[in-house]
């Protein structure tokens, strides 16, 4: 497993602004993922972020709205741009180790409220 | 498109009971299945991982089974405790991603 941290743990933002969420892992990982969990719902994959390549976005999510960076093997950021109240969710990052049976481990999440 | 269903949506049991949570998926072309626990407002804790070639996995009081051909998995919790109260999520690994069910909210009453 791994120790995964996210910053901030929670935030309250005004509509029209942007927030960048950081995900830090204590060891090198090949694959990192960003998920959204809307109130009362399960997790939905936003994108897969591999170091050295562009993020791969799932249907319904676009880079202009959710730009992602993956500068190295232990760190990634997700930006939620031009926020609206519909973006109020918990955002979670997860990691998958190469050769680790595709098991994913999750960070503690960032609870975002947009007013 | 993979779809994952969890039944029941909510379950309330007295302490000490054995219980079963159910998960079904539509596409049997999976490489693994994970069971997670989520406490209110928190991230996910991985409980058990079953590879597609495996039938079951055990960890302490937890036992998960997988029947890939029928698209089903069960999570068995023995001798439930109030500390087991949480939402339990089933996630299926296929097409290089996890697809989650909506979860079962478990309440264990002292």
Task: Provide the residue-wise pLDDT of chain A in tens; the chain has 115 residues.
Answer: 689 999 999 999 999 999 999 999 999 988 899 999 998 888 999 999 988 788 999 999 999 999 999 999 999 999 999 999 999 999 999 998 776 667 889 999 999 999 9
Residues of B in contact with A90 (CB under 8 A): 41
B97 contact A CB<8A: yes
Alpha-carbon gap: B46 to the closest alpha carbon of chain A (Å): 7
pLDDT tens per residue, chain B (110 residues)?
Answer: 899 999 999 999 999 999 999 999 999 999 999 999 999 878 899 999 999 999 999 999 999 999 999 999 999 999 999 999 999 999 999 888 899 999 999 999 99
Residue-wise pLDDT for A94-103, tens only, equals 998 776 667 8
Residue B40 has a pLDDT of 85
Among A58, A92, A103, the residue with its CB nearest the CB of B34 is: A103
A43/B101 touch (CB, cutoff 8 Å), yes or no: no
pLDDT for position B78: 97
CA distance B31 to chain A (A): 8
The pLDDT value recorded for residue A100 is 63
Long-range contacts of A76-79 (CB under 8 A, 24+ apart): A76/A22, A76/A23, A76/A32, A76/A34, A76/A49, A77/A20, A77/A21, A77/A22, A77/A23, A78/A20, A78/A21, A78/A23, A78/A34, A78/A46, A78/A47, A79/A18, A79/A19, A79/A20, A79/A21
- Among A33, A41, A106, whose Cβ lies nearest the Cβ of B43? A106
Per-residue confidence (pLDDT) for residue A42, from 0 to 100: 86
Query: What pLDDT is stored for residue A40 in this prediction?
Result: 84
């Amino acid at each position: 497993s791994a120790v995964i941290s996210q910053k901030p743990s929670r935030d309250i933002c005004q509509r029209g602004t942007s927030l960048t969420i950081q995900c830090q892992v204590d060891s090198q990982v090949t694959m990192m993922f960003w998920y959204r969990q809307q109130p009362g719902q399960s997790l939905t994959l936003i994108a897969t972020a591999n170091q050295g390549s562009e993020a791969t976005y799932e249907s319904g999510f676009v880079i202009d709205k959710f730009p992602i960076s993956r500068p190295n093997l232990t760190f990634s950021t997700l930006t939620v741009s031009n926020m609206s109240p519909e973006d109020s969710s918990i955002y979670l990052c997860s990691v998958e180790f190469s050769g680790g049976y595709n098991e994913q481990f999750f960070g503690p999440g960032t609870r975002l409220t947009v007013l | 498109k993979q779809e994952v269903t969890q039944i029941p949506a909510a379950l309330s049991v007295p302490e000490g009971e054995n219980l079963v949570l159910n998960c079904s998926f539509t596409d049997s072309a999976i490489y693994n299945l994970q069971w997670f626990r989520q406490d209110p407002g928190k991230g996910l804790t991985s409980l058990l991982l079953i590879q597609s070639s495996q039938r079951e996995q055990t960890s302490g009081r937890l036992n998960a089974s997988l029947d890939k051909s029928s698209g089903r998995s069960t999570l068995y919790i023995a001798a439930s405790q109030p500390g087991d109260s949480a939402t339990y999520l089933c996630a299926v690994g296929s097409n290089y991603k996890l697809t989650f069910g909506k979860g079962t909210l478990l309440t264990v009453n002292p």
